[in-house]
Chains A and B, each alone.
Chain A
């Protein structure tokens, strides 16, 4: 290692003093040796530094997991309500985010409540960066609240209990800000469908709903692009989930969900993620560690919760079709929500493709006018390429899309009912009255119709029948499992065996292996400090380094090809198995009356009420005075071009 101290030609001084090295480097073989030496020194140091980063991850993780309420928030939270104290206790809590130094929030400004997704990973993702939904709302002077959760559920807690707790939290926030507009609720990923479901049974609570990367129509997608929706079918339905909960002594391990995400992108999971750190070992550490602290800290879900999620949502698709009932018999229909709904999705999101984020609109409405008549304002925004997490973690998305939504919430509330697409135009392109718009972009809401959502592509009649077949197979197999196998499994499982199984999960074992717990890695921090002090990074045009990059690209290509082929195969199997006339007939789908996808319920009472409301609006056409006349007049002029004159 002492050799590494010489400023340039590392291993070579004995062969060639620095002064003649440039002359000799004219000989190709010598130059190559020189490069090999340079590469070798760098690689040795790099390995040590890389191992050190992995160890830091392990140690941080073990520390993180030992906490009662771990989270990865970059902000200071104060616990206001602990959901464990509620009538139906849940492991959720309402936090107030304290504004950072120099930022003052105004209690009379509309509060924002950000809901943390609980889809296997731990809490805090929505506020992992300063430049985030939370940070921007605070900077804009809004009071910000955060709904987070503990790593372990209260025994027996249900999704309905969580909805009730969330409704309680929101109503409290309304109470605390009597002079402000109704709160804006932001639900990321899983939290998106959760707050949609909550609002469907508590329609008066929200001011505006922002659903970011939230899947609501789980069958939706297109052939060759969205393989994750076949997962339920390929495991024979949800009996596997019941089994996992049984083995976990009533708890479902979120690590399995994280594993699902990882398997969907093998080149990233098995190579790119770590190679990226290795290849940028001097700079990438902090970012990797920050992300890993969230990604590799899975939490637990209750048996009742996960069974509802998989049965009613993933496999049954009941939320989009308005078929979920509370235990008290209330039907959760997303059409009940009268506050504007902003759906933010991305074509680059392979976990919640736009079809799954928006499909529910097609399930619930059969004509554009129905949306207007129902009084619902739905705004969607489709990002071209950002990935799933980027929707709520990326700084660039935060500073553009979220910033614009947050600063225009009042405007969203004035929008008349209908379906709109939020379009962001750079001020440079659209410079007309640029000073009237804030930031670098002009935000506008363009009228859209159901046709625009249909154009995203979706299932054919035959596809829907396949998913319906999955749902029935799932029910049957789960019934068999629950009746004949589950009792046996449960009799063998204890909390101890369940804990041991969870600790052995590859996601946790891998993290714990690279940590201070492993005596083989004891010297790594020291070696890393030494390597850092004597660091000699390889030059980017080094022949061997370039070879390494090429090999890495090859590995990525191989893994991607494998993934593509596997996805094709899975899709083919899914289509064949669940499209089989025999199987469909056996589960009762091919009866004399042809299968019809369950449509959202219609209710004469509701429709009459709807018509009465429209009539009432039109009856008021001559009611009012100057304010009405001026507003109507201005809107009439500004609507020029919308009605063909």
Chain B
């Protein structure tokens, strides 16, 4: 499927969110309402500044206790369960895989001071 999905949120996207929580053992436990609030807030961040929000993912994963790889596999499984990913979805999955598992990343210098490097800007 190479067509980009329209500019919309649909039931399937929401079901994907629900799957994310129910399908994986790594997902921290929380109530449905807490999860809804969390999802809404994450959504809002992407809406306000998608790039910054995505680049902050490694910082969140520092606290993940080593289950980053499983976490990414869950995301990929959930996306694929809802249909063959579009080209753009594939591209985003790839970017995520680099963020979740730095070993997958195309070799790049990691800045030592914590500020984004030139490459980071380009991948954005």
A residues within 8 Å of B by Cβ?
A: 181, 372, 408, 410-411, 413-418, 420, 423, 432-433, 436-438, 442-447, 614, 617-618, 620-622, 624-643, 645
Inter-subunit contact B64/A626 (CB<8 Å)? yes
* Interface of B, helix, strand, loop or mixed by DSSP: helix
Residues of A within 8 A of B100 (CB): 629, 633
Given contacts A418-B47, A634-B20, contact A436 B30 (CB under 8 A): no
CA A437 – CA B45 in complex, angstroms?
26
Query: B12 touching A641 by the CB < 8 A rule?
Result: no
Task: Report chain B residues within 8 Å CB of A638.
Answer: 13, 16, 79, 89
The answer, among A414, A423, A624, for a CB contact under 8 Å with B14, is A414
Question: Are A631 and B39 in touch, CB under 8 angstroms?
Answer: yes
B121 at the A interface (CB under 8 A): no
Residue of A nearest to B49 (CB): A618
13 contacts between A and B (CB under 8 A): A414-B40, A414-B43, A436-B82, A442-B12, A618-B45, A621-B56, A625-B28, A625-B64, A633-B99, A635-B46, A636-B50, A637-B89, A640-B91
Nearest chain-A residue to B36 (Cβ)? Answer: A414
Partner of A630, one of B7, B53, B65, B74: B74
- In the A-B complex, the 4 residue pairs with the smallest Cβ-Cβ separation, listed nearest first, are A444-B10, A641-B4, A416-B43, A411-B14
Q: Are A414 and B64 in touch, CB under 8 angstroms?
A: no
Distance A423 CA – B6 CA, assembled complex (angstroms): 12
A445 to B49, CA, bound (A): 21
CB contacts under 8 Å to A, within B2-32, are 4-17, 20, 24, 26-28, 30, 32
Q: With A432-B83, A635-B42, A640-B92 as given contacts, are A415 and B64 in contact (CB-CB < 8 Å)?
A: no
Whether A628 contacts B60 in the complex (CB less than 8 A), given A410-B36, A416-B47, A636-B92, comes out as: yes
Q: With A and B bound together, what is the CA distance between A317 and B115 in angstroms?
A: 53
Cross-chain contact B82 with A433 (CB below 8 angstroms)? yes
A48 to chain B, nearest CB (A): 53
Known: A414-B43, A418-B47. A437 touches B11 (CB 8 A): yes
Assess the B93–A641 pair: CB atoms within 8 A.
no
Which A residues are CB-close (under 8 A) to B30? 627
Pair B11/A411 contact, Cβ less than 8 Å: yes
Given contacts A436-B82, A627-B27, A633-B100, contact A443 B11 (CB under 8 A): yes
A645–B88 touching, CB < 8 Å = yes
A630 and B27 form a contact (CB under 8 A)? yes
Say whether B9 contacts A445, CB under 8 Å: yes
B75 to chain A, nearest CB (A): 5
Q: Which chain B residue shows the least CB distance to A437?
A: B11
Supplied contacts A621-B53, A624-B60, 9 more A-B pairs, CB within 8 Å: A411-B11, A415-B40, A416-B43, A417-B44, A446-B8, A626-B67, A632-B54, A638-B13, A638-B89
> Which B residues lie within 8 Å of A624 (CB)?
38, 60, 63
- Identify B41's interface contact among A413, A444, A620, CB under 8 A: A620
- Nearest-neighbour CB distance to chain A for B104, whole angstroms, equals 14
- Asked whether, in the complex, the Cβ of B61 is within 8 Å of the Cβ of A626, the reply is yes
B110 interface residue, CB < 8 Å from A?
A: no
Q: Is B33 an interface residue (CB 8 A)?
A: yes
* A629 / chain B contacts, CB cutoff of 8 Å: 57, 60-61, 64, 71, 100
* Chain B interface, number of residues (Cβ within 8 angstroms): 68
Do B11 and A408 touch (CB < 8 A)? yes
Find chain A residues with CB under 8 A from B20 CB: 630-631, 634
What is the number of contacts between chain A and chain B, taking CB atoms within 8 Å? 188
Assuming the contacts A408-B14, A637-B92, asked whether A423 and B47 have C-beta atoms less than 8 A apart, the reply is: no
Nearest CB to that of A181 among chain B residues? B33
Q: Are the CB atoms of A622 and B59 closer together than 8 Å?
A: yes
Complex alpha-carbon distance, A104 and B7, angstroms: 38
**Pair A634/B56 contact, Cβ less than 8 Å:** no
CA distance A622 to B55 in the complex (A): 9
Give Cα A436–Cα B15 distance, bound, in whole angstroms.
7
Residue of A nearest to B87 (CB): A640
Q: Report A-chain residues with C-beta under 8 Å of the C-beta of B33.
A: 181
Max chain B C-beta neighbours (<10 A), residue from A411, A446, A622, A633: A633
Closest residue to B10 on the A side, CB-wise? A444
Residues of A within 8 A of B44 (CB): 416-417, 617
Q: Kindly identify which residue among B6, B17, B85, B93 contacts A446, using a CB–CB cutoff of 8 Å.
A: B6
Option from A413, A436, A614 in Cβ contact (under 8 Å) with B40: A413
Chain A contacts of B75 at CB under 8 A?
Answer: 630, 633-634, 637
| A444 adjacent to B8 (CB under 8 Å) | yes
Known: A625-B60, A627-B28. A641 touches B7 (CB 8 A): yes
- The closest CB in chain B to the CB of A441 belongs to B11
Are B40 and A633 in contact (CB-based, < 8 A)?
A: no
Assess whether B54 is in contact with A636, with CB atoms less than 8 Å apart.
yes
Which of chain A's residues have a CB closer than 8 A to the CB of B4?
A: 640-641
B78 proximity list for chain A (CB < 8 A) = 634
